[in-house]
């Protein structure tokens, strides 16, 4: 008798980590309707948002990241830029989204040779 071991996913957790690279004070931002203009770029999409609330920018970055893959840990990153005068973009932060899966081995008994 041979025993075949399959792995079954029992739990899936999302982990977010925000790493601020630079400060808004060090930039020369463009104001649109008296609000700052941010650009969030992930592996799948791009989002432009006008706001003064940095927590809203973080939440928006969390929503557009989607880790793909079948491995135990998959990662996607979203980069947050601020639009500056002259058409430039300055990197403000990087949001890392990790999807962690927990697996359990399950044994199946086969009656093959």
Boundaries of every domain in the chain? 13-100
pLDDT confidence of residue 1? 61
With 90 as the cut, is the pLDDT of residue 23 above it?
A: no
Does residue 66 contact residue 44 with C-beta atoms inside 8 Å?
yes
Model confidence band, residue 15 (pLDDT cutoffs 50, 70, 90): very high
pLDDT in tens, 61-110: 999 999 998 888 999 999 999 999 988 999 999 999 999 998 888 887 66
User: In the chain, which ranges are E strands?
Assistant: 2-20, 31-32, 35-41, 46-51, 73-83, 89-110
Does residue 101 contact residue 9 with C-beta atoms inside 8 Å?
yes
Model pTM above 0.85: no
User: In 23-88, which ranges are E strands?
Assistant: 31-32, 35-41, 46-51, 73-83
pLDDT confidence of residue 56? 94
């Amino acid at each position: 008798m041979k025993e075949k071991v399959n792995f079954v996913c029992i739990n899936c957790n999302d982990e977010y980590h925000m790493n601020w690279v630079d400060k808004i004070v060090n930039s020369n931002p463009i104001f649109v309707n008296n609000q700052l203009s941010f650009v969030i770029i992930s592996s799948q999409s791009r989002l432009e948002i006008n706001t003064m609330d940095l927590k809203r920018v973080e939440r928006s970055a969390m929503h557009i990241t989607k880790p793909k893959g079948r491995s135990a840990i998959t990662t996607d990153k979203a980069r947050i830029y601020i639009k500056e005068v002259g058409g430039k973009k300055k990197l403000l932060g990087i949001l890392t989204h990790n999807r962690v899966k927990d697996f359990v081995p399950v044994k199946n008994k086969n009656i093959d040779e």
